Each structure stands twice: as C-alpha cells, then as structure tokens.
Chains A and B, each alone.
Chain A
Amino acid sequence: MKTLKVSILRFPGTNCEFDTVYAFRRLGHETRLVWHKEELLPADTDLVVVPGGFSYGDYLRAGSIARFSPVMKAVQAYAENGGRVLGICNGFQILTEAHLLPGALKRNDNLHFISRIQHLRVENTDNAFLNRCEKGEVLRVPIAHADGNYFVDDESLDDMEKNGQILLRYCDENGEPTVVNGSVRQIAGICNKSKNVFGLMPHPERAIESILGSEDGVKMLEGLHYA
C-alpha cells in the first residue's frame, strides 16, 4: 500500500478540511492544506481533495466564485495531466463549476438543507476511487447539503451511464434508488470521462469510525491508494 501525499484545498468558507485531513491521516497518508491563493500545488501531490463547506458563502451559486481562485488553475492543469482530484460536497460543486466534471448542482427539490445518514448504491467500481467497493453494494454515509440536485442533459447522461461515470446513487437500505434531493436518476456521485476526477455530495470523511455511525467511508477513500 502506497502512502499518498494528499493536497487538501482551503477556500474562505471551507469547513470540512480538518475532517478530511483527519480521515486521510487515519488511512496512513500525508496531508497538506493548500490555501486557495496558491498558484502551485505541492510538486509531489498524489491526490487533490476539494473538501466541503460554503466557499464564498455560496454566493451567486455554490462553487461559482471559488472556481476562479488562483489554485484552481493549478488543479485544472493537474487534472488535465491525469492527476487525481476528489471533490466532496462543496468540492463537487466547485469541480462542476470549473467544468472538470459534467453537469451542475441545483437547489434541492424540496428546498431543504438535508442532513442525515443516507444509503448509497455503488454503481461502478472500475475506477481509481470505488475499487474497494462491490458493484451494487449499499453504503451508509452522511449527506449535508442544500444544493445537491444534480442535473445534466439526457444525452450527456446516457453517455455517462455507458462510460461507467455514474459512481453512486441515493437508495434505500435494500439498494432501491430513492429520490432524496431531485437529482437526475438519483445520482449522488460521478466521475469525468477519463476517470481521474471524482465528485460526490455525500461525506465519506465523516464515515470512518463506527462510533460516529458508519465506517463505510474508509472503503471508499481507501480505493484511492490501491488504484
């Protein structure tokens, strides 16, 4: 097993960076927080994580301002060179705004901030993220968001399904997809076409100890060092 050097971004309003640091250190990795004003990522970065929070107060649209921070140019270049990038919650929103991931995240259909432990069905494991999970496996991971309503046009969606880019769907305890926030086809997580950029609304970094309700996040985050 390889020890990864994980660069975790911080924007004004990010609030999950320390949970993310804790989770990756617990898995045996090295972590560095990278302030959004930086123009370069640490040169030996093995993985970039864009953590959750409310960058720039979610003003205009969630992630829309953070996506223009100096560090995002470096992330763009890193991703284009095949580097691995994981966006969690607000990080997912930032990556869609930056067009590193297809689609967009709208306000939840019921307009509520939804905060609870949610069942997720693993849809594809042939990628550098969920390779430790089983296809069809049901995970329990917290969600906490108001803008998680994933939208992409039907044509792109069909392509994504064909390419195995749909990673996770909201479901019930039996794995039956359920409507949680209005996402098209109940999508909770996706990746880009070249499968090096990943985004999900649920928080695996909050599900790494049974005392907090679930350890399923370990299995998810672990995949990144086996791939």
Chain B
Amino acid sequence: MKAIVNVYLKEGVLDPQGKAVHHALGSLGFTNVREVRVGKQIVLDLDADDPEAARKEVEKMAETLLANTVIEDYDIEIVQ
C-alpha cells in the first residue's frame, strides 16, 4: 500500500517559489495563470493492510515530521 502526502504552504502564507514560477510562466507567454503554489510530494511505501489504520499512522507522521503545521498544510492519499 502506498501513501501520497502533499505538503504545501497554508493559504495566506506567501509562497516565494510559487511567485517565481508564476512570474516565469508569465514571461513564457502563459498569461492565464492566476496563482501558482509550489509544494512537495512525499510518497511512502507502507507495510500495512488496513487503509484506515495506515491513514491514521501517516497523519501522525505528517503532524510530527513531514509538515510544519505552523506554515504548512498537507493532504494524504492512500493508494492500494
């Protein structure tokens, strides 16, 4: 079973990388982009059978280490 954790800066926390990418897209002629947020994806290969238990475990990992909840939000996707 795999868990995919997406971590990104919270709404309202300025994302300097997103801003730079937005600017670069604009100069390449992609002018219809309203906003860009750059995050990171962490893929975990889990030794687990129960998806609900796995999700709870990954939530703990995200709260403890994978995300800094002072500035970041995260979401978790469990893939069989």
Q: Which one of A34-42, A45-53, A101-109, A218-226 is at the interface?
A: A101-109
Q: Contact check, A108 vs B16: say whether CB atoms are below 8 A apart.
A: yes
User: Roughly how many angstroms separate A64 CA and B61 CA in the complex, as a whole number?
Assistant: 13
Q: Contact check, A111 vs B20: say whether CB atoms are below 8 A apart.
A: yes
Instruction: Confirm or deny: A97 has a beta carbon within 8 angstroms of a beta carbon on chain B.
Output: yes
User: Roughly how many angstroms separate A151 CA and B71 CA in the complex, as a whole number?
Assistant: 8
Q: A92-135, CB under 8 A of B: which get 1 and which 0?
A: 00001100000110111111000000000000000000000000
Q: Contact check, A149 vs B13: say whether CB atoms are below 8 A apart.
A: no
Instruction: Confirm or deny: B79 has a beta carbon within 8 angstroms of a beta carbon on chain A.
Output: no
Q: Contact check, B68 vs A104: say whether CB atoms are below 8 A apart.
A: yes
Q: How large is the interface on A (under 10, 10 to 19, 20 to 34, 35 or more residues)?
A: 10 to 19
Residues of A contacting B13 in the complex (Cβ-Cβ under 8 angstroms)? 106, 151
Interface residues of A in 59-100 (CB under 8 A from B): 60-61, 64-65, 68, 96-97
A106 and B20 in contact, given A60-B65, A97-B68 (Cβ under 8 angstroms): no
User: Roughly how many angstroms separate A107 CA and B14 CA in the complex, as a whole number?
Assistant: 10
Q: B6-40, CB under 8 A of A: which get 1 and which 0?
A: 00010001101101100000000000000000000
Instruction: Confirm or deny: A182 has a beta carbon within 8 angstroms of a beta carbon on chain B.
Output: yes
A interface residues (Cβ-Cβ under 8 A, vs B): 60-61, 64-65, 68, 96-97, 103-104, 106-111, 149, 151-152, 182
B interface residues (Cβ-Cβ under 8 A, vs A): 9, 13-14, 16-17, 19-20, 65-66, 68, 70-71
Query: Would you list the 8 A-B pairs with minimal beta carbon distance, nearest first?
Result: A104-B70, A104-B71, A109-B16, A107-B16, A104-B68, A111-B20, A151-B71, A111-B16
